[in-house]
Amino acid sequence: MEGLLAQATVYLLSIVIAVPLARRLGLGSVLGYLIAGMIIGPVLGLVHHNESEDLLHFAEFGVVMMLFIIGLELDPRGLWNMRHKLIGMGGLQILITGGVIMGATIWAGQTWQTGLALGMILSLSSTAVVLQTLSEKNLIHTGGGRAAFSVLLTQDIAVIPMLAVMPLLATAGRLTINPDGSISRASDAAHDTAAHGASLVEGLPGWGVTLVTLGAVGAIIFAGIFLTRPLFRYIHQANLREIYTAVALLMVVGIALLMNAVGLSPALGTFLAGVVLANSEFRHELESSIEPFKGLLLGLFFIAVGAGINFAVLFRDPFLIIGLTVALMVTKGAVLYVIGRIFKLRTRGQWLFTLSLAQAGEFGMVLTTFALQQGVLSTYLGARVLLVIALSLLFTPLFFILQDYLRKKISERQEETPHDDIDDQQAIIIAGIGRFGQMVNRLVQASGFHTTVLDHDLKTIQLMRKFGFKGFFGDPTRPELLKAAGIESARILVVALDDPAAATRLVKYARSQRPDIFIIARARNRIHVYELFKAGADKIVREMFDSSLRAGRYVLEEMGFSEYDAAMTEQAYYQHDREALRSLAELWDPKVPVSENQAYVDRSRALDKEFEAALITQLDQAREKSGAA
C-alpha cells in the first residue's frame, strides 16, 4: 500500500507542477504530461520502466473512455453523412501512407509481411494527442479540425480489420514452400512462447481468430441495440446518480475485457458501443458520468508514454531512431498535404490538417504489441518501432506550435491583400458583419438609414452581396481603409468584430482620430467591457447580456412572478449592471487578475448587496401601490 501511495503521489505531483507550467509557456497540456513522464521516469528514475508499462495499460482506459464519448456524440446517421470524408480523406491517407511505408520497408530488406504490418501500424495517428490539443485550442470545429477528426475516425475504425489481419500475416509468414512443391508451416519459437493474453483465441488458426473478432464486434452492436435500454430503465428506478456512474464504468470495463479476450483494441469496442448508444435517451447521463475519469486517465496515459521512452535504446542508435522518426513525420505530412490539396482545404486548414496528423499513434502501440505477440515483428524491430511512435508523440505538440506560427504568418499575409475601393461614404460605419453586425445592419437599413459595411472575410462580403446588401472587403483596423470609408465625416461607428483585441484597437484608434464620433462596440465579456471603456467607446453591448436577461425574466415568470414584476426586475438589474460596470471599470487594472484585485472584489460584493436590498424595497413598494389601486 505504501508503495502504491508513493507512486500515486509522484504521478500527481508531476502533473500539478509540469502541466500548468507547460500551458503557461504555450506548450499545451499534452507536452506537459509527456515531459513530466520523462522527468519522473528516465531522467530522475522515480518510476521504473516496468512500472510505467503497468501504468500505461491502466491509463489506456483514458483513450478507451475518450473513444466511448466520441462515439456517443456520433450517431450512425452522422457517420453516414461523413462517409465522403471518411472514405475519401481517411481511406486515402491510410492506403497511401501504408503503401509508402511498406515499400520502404521491403526496399530495406524486410519481408512483405513485416512491411505490411509496419505500414498499418505507422499509418495511424494519435487520436488522444490530436483531439486533446484541438479541443484546448478551440480548433476542432474549424475546416482543418473537422478534416483531421474525419481521418482520425477512419483510422480508429480501420484498427478493427488491421487487428483481424495481423494473425493472418503471422500465419502467412510461417508458411514455406518445400522443394517438392508441398507447403509446410515453419516453427516459430518466439510465436509459440508468446504470451497471447487472449484465452478465447489462444490456439486458434488465423481465420478462426478473425471470425471470433468479428463475432465480438457483432455482439457489442447487438447488445447496444437490444439490451441497454431495458437495463437503463431498470437502473433509472433506483434514482441514484452513483448507479449511473457504476453502469457507465461497467460498460466500459466489460467491453474492454471482451475486446482483450479476442485480441482487439478496447477503445474500438467502446467507440462502437458509443455510436450504437448515440440515439439513446441516456446518452448525456453516460457522457457526464465518464467525463471526469476520462480526463485524469488520459493525462496518466501521456505521462506513461513519456516515462516509458527507452533512452538506452535511443542512445544506442540516436541518429537512426531520430532520423526514422523525422522521416516518418515528413512522409506522413507530405501525404496529408497532398490529400488536403485534393480536397481543397483552405490554407490555414490545410496546415492544421497536415501538421496535426503527422505523428504515429497510441493505437500503433497496441498494434505493435499485438504484432510482437503474433510473431509478425521481431523483438529488436518492435522495440525501435515503439520508440519511434513515442518520439513522434513527443514531437507533435511542437508541430502544433509550428502551426500557430504559420497561422499568424498567413494572417499577416492576408492582411496585406488589397482592400476594395470604397466608393460609398455614409454617416454610419459598421465594422464586422458577422451574426452581431448583420442584425445591427438589417435593423438600421430597414429603418431607412444607409450604412458603410466593412469586413475582412471576403466570403462573408460576397454572401452579403448575393442577398442585395452592399459591403466592402478589407481589415477595418487599417487606418487607410477607415479613411476611405469616411471616418473623418461619419457620425456613428459600430464595432462588431469577432476578435476582442482587434475591436479594442479599432475603438482606440477611432477615438484618437475623431474625439466627437459616437462609438458603439460589441464586447465579448466583462473584462472586454473594461478594455473598450478605457479605449473610449460610448456604448458597449455584451453579446450575450440582453438574451441572458430575457431568459432570466422567463425563469422568474415561470416561478410565479407576474409579467410586470419580472419585467421590472429585469429593468432594475439592467440599470444596476450598467452603473456597476462604470464603478468597477475605475478600479479595474489590466496588470492584476480580477480575483487578486481586492478593491475590485470588495466593491463588487458591496454593489451586489446594495442591489439586492434596493430590488426588494422596489418590489415591495410596487406591490403596495398595485394593492392600493
Can you give the pLDDT at residue 6? 77
| pLDDT over 70 at 132, yes or no | yes
Distance (Å, whole) CA 367 – CA 111: 18
Residue with cell 509557456: 25
Pairing status of strand 492-495 against strand 428-431: parallel
What is the structure's pLDDT at 158? Answer: 82
What is the pLDDT at residue 394? 78
Say if CB 524 and CB 504 are below 8 A apart: no
| pLDDT in the model for residue 123 | 92
pLDDT at 335 over 90: yes
| Greater pLDDT, 188 or 559 | 559
Q: What grid cell was written down for 142?
A: 474549424
Q: Grid coordinates representing 499?
A: 476578435
Predicted confidence (pLDDT) per residue in 554-592, tens digit:
998 888 888 888 888 888 888 888 888 888 888 888 777
With a pLDDT cut of 70, the percent of the chain lying above it is 81
Q: What is the mean pLDDT of residues 423-429?
A: 82
Q: What are the pLDDT digits (tens) for 607-628? A: 878 777 777 776 666 666 655 4
pLDDT value at 272 more than 50: yes
Q: What percent of the chain has pLDDT over 90?
A: 11
Helix, strand, coil shares, percent, the chain, to 5? 70, 5, 25
Mean pLDDT for 299-325 is 81
Q: Are 46 and 10 spatial neighbours (Cβ–Cβ below 8 Å)?
A: yes
C-beta of residue 472 within 8 angstroms of C-beta of residue 451: no
Q: What distance in Å separates the CA atoms of residue 71 and residue 65, rounded to the nearest whole number?
A: 10
Of 52-61, 171-180, 260-269, which one has max mean pLDDT?
260-269
- Looking at the predicted structure, is the pLDDT value of residue 198 above 50? no
Angle between helices 228-236 and 241-261 (to 10 degrees): 150
Half-sphere exposure of 164 (CA within 13 A, CB side): 16
Q: How far apart are CA 275 and CA 268, in angstroms?
A: 11
Grid cell 463475432 is found at 215
d(C-alpha 364, C-alpha 394), whole Å: 15
Integer Cα distance of 318 and 226 in angstroms? 53
Residues whose CB falls within 8 Å of the CB of residue 75, separated by 6 or more in sequence, listed in order? 275, 278, 279
Residue 553 in this model has a pLDDT that exceeds 80? yes
Which amino acid, 397? P
Residue 499: the pLDDT is: 85
Grid cell listed for 263: 485480441
User: Is residue 400 very low, low, confident or very high in pLDDT (cuts 50, 70, 90)?
Assistant: confident
Residue 2 in this model has a pLDDT that exceeds 70: no
Average pLDDT over residues 521-550: 87
Least confident span in 171-180, 233-242, 363-372 = 171-180
Question: Among candidates 107, 106, 117, which has minimal Cα distance to 170?
Answer: 117
H/E stretch holding 502: helix 500-513
The confidence score (pLDDT) of residue 275 equals 76
Least-confidence region, from 73-87, 315-329, 458-472: 73-87
Q: How confident is the model at residue 186 (pLDDT cuts 50, 70, 90)?
A: very low
For 551, 567, 624, the CA distances from 627, given in Å and listed in that order, are: 28, 18, 5
Considering the chain, what is the average pLDDT of its residues? 78
- H-helix segments, 73-142: 76-81, 83-85, 91-107, 112-123, 127-136
pLDDT of residue 182: 43
Helix (H, G, I), strand (E, B) or coil at 430: strand
Instruction: Please report the DSSP string for 294-363 in residue order.
Output: HHHHHHHHHHHHHHT--HHHHHHSHHHHHHHHHHHHHHHHHHHHHHHHHTT--HHHHHHHHHHT-S--HH
Beta-carbon contacts of residue 48 (< 8 Å; ≥ 6 apart):
none
Of 426 and 213, which is predicted with more confidence? Answer: 426
**pLDDT tier at 71, thresholds 50, 70, 90:** confident
pLDDT score recorded for residue 27: 64
The answer to whether 265 touches 61, Cβ cutoff 8 Å, is no
Q: How far apart are alpha carbons 568 and 549 in whole angstroms?
A: 12
Q: What is the pLDDT of residue 188?
A: 42
- Give the helix ranges, DSSP H, for 25-75: 29-38, 49-72
DSSP state of 186: P
Which pLDDT belongs to residue 629? 47
Instruction: Answer yes or no: are the C-beta atoms of 188 and 375 closer than 8 Å.
Output: yes
Give dist(CA 475, CA 482) in Å, integer: 9
- Tens of pLDDT, residue by residue over 440-459, are 988 998 888 988 888 887 77
Bigger pLDDT: 483 or 132? Answer: 483
User: To which residue does cell 486458434 refer?
Assistant: 204
**Integer Cα distance of 534 and 519 in angstroms:** 13
Mean local confidence (pLDDT), 162-180:
63
| Sign of the dihedral through C-alpha 69, 71, 77, 78 | positive
Is residue 129 a contact partner of residue 30, using CB atoms and an 8 Å limit? yes
For the cut 90, the answer to whether the pLDDT of residue 491 exceeds it is: yes
Find the mean pLDDT for residues 394-406.
Answer: 77
The whole-angstrom separation of Cα 469 and Cα 496 is 17
Pairing of strands 183-185, 175-177: antiparallel
| CA–CA dist 270, 477 (Å, integer) | 49
pLDDT attached to residue 519: 94
Task: Enter the C-alpha cell of residue 596.
Answer: 487578486
What is the C-alpha to C-alpha distance for residues 58 and 307, in angstroms, rounded to an integer? 14
Q: Half-sphere exposure (CA, 13 Å, Cβ side) for 157? A: 18
Cα separation, 557 vs 477, in Å, equals 44
User: Are the C-beta atoms of 400 and 133 separated by less than 8 Å?
Assistant: yes
Q: Per mean pLDDT, which range of 107-111, 289-293, 356-360, 563-567 is the poorest?
A: 289-293
604 close to 587: Cβ distance less than 8 angstroms: no
Residue 328's closest CA among 163, 116, 125, 144?
125
Q: CA of 558: how far to CAs of 119, 464, 550, 553, 619, in Å?
A: 61, 40, 13, 9, 17
Please give the backbone phi and psi of residue 614, each rounded to the nearest 5 degrees, phi first.
-65, -40
pLDDT at 347 over 80: no
Report if pTM > 0.75: no
Q: Which pLDDT band, with edges at 50, 70 and 90, does 190 fall under?
A: very low
Residues 6+ apart with CB under 8 A from 187: 174
**How far apart, in whole angstroms, are the C-alpha atoms of residue 165 and residue 372?**
14
Residues 6+ apart with CB under 8 A from 36: 14, 15, 17, 18, 19, 303, 306
Mean pLDDT lowest for which of 13-17, 276-280, 419-423?
Answer: 419-423
Q: What's the grid cell of residue 625? A: 401601490
* pLDDT tier for residue 177 given thresholds of 50, 70 and 90: very low
Residues forming a β-bridge with 522: 541
Amino acid in position 523: A
| For residues 223-246, average pLDDT | 76
Q: Which of 62-71, 392-401, 561-570 has the lowest mean pLDDT?
A: 62-71
Chain-centroid distance of CA 444 in Å reads 38
